[in-house]
Structure 1
């Protein structure tokens, strides 16, 4: 099943996998907000949570004790779901740095949430996902004396020096990555031309303006996927499970990083879209 997008329902696909067989799970399920994915019927909250619990239970079964599972969603939905997940958890934020989802009468949405779940002792490769230091730290703290206090920084209040790590700051739980909105990230978008029955990258879109084309409405940026995989990748090759493949972008990132993947997708056109770009 490795390194393929399988056209199959997520629950049926998961049942084909052995216990403790994957290192990373990146789950980007339908958010149940009415987006048209070709096969999704919107459920009420109770039905959605019951369905979510089923695929999460199976995902937990196939996750290795050292593995990590990431689940995307809006915070108001994930808040209901998080309490039902029988794993250790941290709440991550994906802050879109280039757009808001407009609301004239309420707070503008500028982020999505990611539940980070694990069983025992997950792999965490902090040096692979370090971030640039803020200008404030570099100007005001780096290289200066830091006075320790009991239980913080150093033992017995010993003074230390703020040192800037050559690879950057430790990764924070707010991931600032531009969304694929408007023209942003055009180089990593692709589309299926239904008239030509072929997959093309965004540079070819101008040649298909009069054609019936399919794009995935909620494709995640590759940089975001890259950070998640690099942070949790084992020292050996490892396997990443993508239960909802969508456009196939997570599969492309896994392929580029040299990690095996298993992907499921029910929509036959998205399967064609993902397979098309993987084969280019």
Structure 2
């Protein structure tokens, strides 16, 4: 069974199928404590092909979604806007830059621009390969929630002490015993999550990100968990306007928060509902938050330079 952080709270999940703007506008205003989402990037993924937009139309569409999302947010609430880049003819258009003003015009305040770094991404030949995306954390007011202790990570140097020059604290441990602030640079092993804890056995994993259900752009549960733990309290409600296969709902319910999701794709929502059922039964495989990234050991096949590469290197010399 699901072990939640607050046993007295029974977390719920509600999913809505339909156009994101239409559904958002029908939902009660100022209901949600946190909105975590990753909108489509308008780069031709399977869920984007029914409606082709120019980049200008796309940015205008995102502006409307941002407006409806801000309207649906509690005064103490936060929005975590996880985005990458739109790419056209080899040129990069960072979506966070093009949507920042949409939040700012509505009075939202940017608290962090978080870098999410991952091991594998789009391989490029005419520019450097992309290996990170961003999460913009906005708040509606200064009276927002931030639970640092819930997301602290282990100290790198737990034995470090204050120098003698600091008379008051001289010789005392300089760090926090609960751990350090995870900062605005986050790194998770999506590859290990996919290889060792696959949630769905999908034969045609063809997109660039290795962690997959059938959804071509899925982020790890751990990424959302950190947002949920830091920015909400047990019993709060978390919304994802682009729910996909339910990652946000899983992260929220795992920690005694309620979840609401929207998606126009019935197949994705069907998977999301099934994953939630497995979570409640305790059968859903999830990579544990904070699990160290595995490094290949010397002698392992994946860490051994192929003979073909050795020969190619010799020829270049």
TM-score normalised by structure 1 residue count: 0.79
* Rounded Cα–Cα distance in structure 2 between residues aligned with 1:220 and 1:13: 23
* Rounded Cα–Cα distance in structure 1 between residues aligned with 2:239 and 2:132: 24
Counterpart contact for 2:19–2:264, Cα < 8 Å: yes
Q: Does 1:109 align with 2:119?
A: no
Q: Does 1:80 align with 2:98?
A: yes
The C-alpha deviation readout for 1:66-99, integer Å capped at 9, x for no partner, is 1110111115121111122131012111111x22
Deviation at 1:38, TM superposition (A): 6.1
Aligned to 1:119: 140
Q: 1:147 to 1:264 in 2, by over 3 A?
A: farther
Question: SS of 1:185's equivalent?
Answer: helix
Aligned to 1:238: 236
Q: Equivalences for 1:1-280 in 2 at 5 Å?
A: 3-37=13-47, 40-74=50-84, 76-85=94-103, 86=106, 87-89=108-110, 90-96=112-118, 98-120=119-141, 121-134=143-156, 137-138=157-158, 142-145=160-163, 160-161=169-170, 163-179=174-190, 181=191, 184-186=193-195, 189-190=198-199, 201-202=200-201, 215-234=214-233, 236-280=234-278
* Rounded Cα–Cα distance in structure 1 between residues aligned with 2:58 and 2:102: 13
The C-alpha deviation readout for 1:177-236, integer Å capped at 9, x for no partner, is 123x4x64346544xxxxxxxxxx33xx58x99xxxx711111101111111001012x4
* Rounded Cα–Cα distance in structure 2 between residues aligned with 1:40 and 1:146: 66
Deviation at 1:274, TM superposition (A): 1.0
Q: 1:247 to 1:147 in 2, by over 3 A?
A: farther
Counterpart contact for 1:188–1:222, Cα < 8 Å: no
Count of aligned positions: 246
Q: 1:187 to 1:272 in 2, by over 3 A?
A: farther
TM-score normalised by structure 2 residue count: 0.71
Counterpart contact for 1:93–1:174, Cα < 8 Å: yes
* Rounded Cα–Cα distance in structure 2 between residues aligned with 1:45 and 1:17: 28
